[in-house]
Amino acid sequence: MFTLNPQQLLDCLTERTCHYLDDLRLATSAAPPRSCPKGHCPPIETHLVALTLKHTHYGGVWIGYSFDTPLLQEIMQRYLAGLSYDSHEVALYLKETAKDMINELVGNATADVAQQGEALQLSLPTLLSGAERFENSDLPEQYCYQQLTISDYGQMTLWTGLIP
């Protein structure tokens, strides 16, 4: 039976994310990965995209990406390079850029760690920003997280944790 290790998934997500940002020509440096119990992790105060990964043999894994606003804006501008859009559409495109990017990164990372024949199901990504928060009961008891610093634009934090 396949056992998904949140740290293994985080390592794969980090690698995929760094390659993605490199393709956008955004220089990235990574702090060492960390683990912490719920209530003792750094707060998630910026844009957060979260989804869950379900496995047929156990509960699931919570996956989250949080972005500093200037970083998400820069990713959007590079992601939409050459396309024209109105200023009133920026908020929509910020959300869609974040969700598209996370869908791609998480989909590829889970394909990397899954074993042949194993069923992994992803929920649709949910974007929270500003005052929106996840209920504490919705979050895992133990997290692994990785902070990435993208020069001149801020930080991105990747989170994983087991859901019973």
Tally of domains within the chain? 1
CATH number at 108 reads 3.40.1550.10
For residue 120, the number of C-alpha atoms closer than 13 Å in the C-beta half-sphere is: 23
Residue 114 falls within a domain, yes or no? yes
Residue 1 falls within a domain, yes or no? no
Given this model, what pLDDT does residue 1 score?
46
Residue 87 falls within a domain, yes or no? yes
For residue 136, the number of C-alpha atoms closer than 13 Å in the C-beta half-sphere is: 6
| Contact in structure between 97 and 72 (CB atoms under 8 Å) | yes
Given this model, what pLDDT does residue 77 score?
93
For residue range 55-66, what is the model confidence (pLDDT) as tens digits? 555 567 778 888
Residue 83 falls within a domain, yes or no? yes
The residue range of the domain holding 94 is: 6-163
Residue 54 falls within a domain, yes or no? yes
Given this model, what pLDDT does residue 54 score?
62
Q: Give residue 154's Cα distance to chain centre.
A: 15
- For residues 4 and 139, give the distance between their C-alpha atoms in angstroms, rounded to a whole number: 18
Residue 43 falls within a domain, yes or no? yes
> What pLDDT tens digit does each residue of the chain (164 aa) get?
456 677 888 889 999 999 999 999 999 998 888 887 766 766 666 666 766 666 555 567 778 888 888 999 999 999 899 899 999 999 899 888 988 898 899 888 888 877 666 667 777 777 766 545 554 445 666 668 788 889 889 988 888 877 76
Given this model, what pLDDT does residue 86 score?
93
Other C-beta atoms closer than 10 Å to the C-beta of 75 total 22
- For residues 30 and 155, give the distance between their C-alpha atoms in angstroms, rounded to a whole number: 10
Q: Work out the angle at residue 97's Cα, subtended by the Cα atoms of residues 136 and 81, and round it to the nearest 5 degrees.
A: 155
Given this model, what pLDDT does residue 65 score?
86
Q: Work out the angle at residue 72's Cα, subtended by the Cα atoms of residues 106 and 55, and round it to the nearest 5 degrees.
A: 15
